[in-house]
Amino acid sequence: MDIFKKQMKYLHDNGYVTYTFDELENTENLKFCYKHIVITFDDGWISNYTEIFDFMKSLKLKYNIFLSMGKIGVDKSYLTWDSVREMHNSGIVGFGAHSFTHPSMADINAINPNLEIIEVDQKFKKELGYEPHDFCYPFGYYSEASNDYLVKYSNYMRIYTSDMNYSYMKEDKIIFGRNSIVNEEPMRVFIYKVLGYFNIFSTLVNRIVALTGK
Ligand SMILES: [Zn+2]
């Protein structure tokens, strides 16, 4: 928590503007800006409410949570629907989809889309009143085939990988490369990630690997 708070204070003190998923519906907010940032948490652990909600509110930093649907309101380690609604109503927290059973989706043919996508969206709508437009892959595992599938057959407008990579459009959807923030890394690494340096670097490396086959 100490490290996390230091990182968030850095964003606050340096004038970063944070967004909820709801605000990304306005495409004006998706235009590139150096100091715009989208903070996301995966799975929907209860600590996203008990440990950080008040703290983030006090700094006026918005954040987002991808809900692992099968656990929400069921498993005590995860958020309850009441806490989800309270956070959403505050305007500080946005919510997205993260499948039902948290499977690897690298092989899209191995999953049950009725359960992992359609049922998730319906449950989301029942509890929160809208269908999610943001989705992130469990474990970050995906393939171009899974991107193609979601672009074509789901209602998700923004699909988040865990690659520290550039983001791009696929038809009218966006594939976002995210930076993972790791507790153990020094503050300067966090700052580099926030500045976008890691995305430039890893995109370059990936391009070179693709070109040379090494
Ligand atoms: Zn997850």
Q: What is the 3-state secondary structure (H, E, C) of the chain?
A: CHHHHHHHHHHHHCCCEECCHHHHCCHHHHCCCCCEECCEEEECECHHHHCCHHHHHHHCCCEEEEECCCCCCCCCCECCHHHHHHHHHCCCEEEEECCCCCCCCCCHHHCCHHHHHHHHHHHHHHHHCCCCCEEECHHHCCCHHHHHHHHHHCCCCEEEECCCCCCEEECCEEEEECCCCCCCCCHHHHHHHHHCHHHHHHHHHHHHHHHHCC
Surrounding ion ligand 1 within 5 Å at CB are: 42-43, 138
pLDDT score of 214 = 59
* CA 211 to ligand 1 centroid distance, Å: 32
* CA 196 to ligand 1 centroid distance, Å: 23
Q: Does residue 48 have a pLDDT over 80?
A: yes
What pLDDT digit, counting tens, does each position of 180-209 carry? 998 888 999 899 889 887 777 777 777 787
What pLDDT digit, counting tens, does each position of 120-131 carry? 999 999 999 999
Write down all domains in the chain, each with its CATH number in brackets: 2-212 (3.20.20.370)
Section 97-104 average pLDDT: 98
Burial class, 64, CB count within 10 angstroms (exposed 0-12 / middle 13-18 / buried 19+): buried
* CA 192 to ligand 1 centroid distance, Å: 24
Kindly state the percentage of the chain with pLDDT values over 90. 79
pLDDT score of 109 = 94
* CA 159 to ligand 1 centroid distance, Å: 14
pLDDT score of 135 = 98
* CA 156 to ligand 1 centroid distance, Å: 17
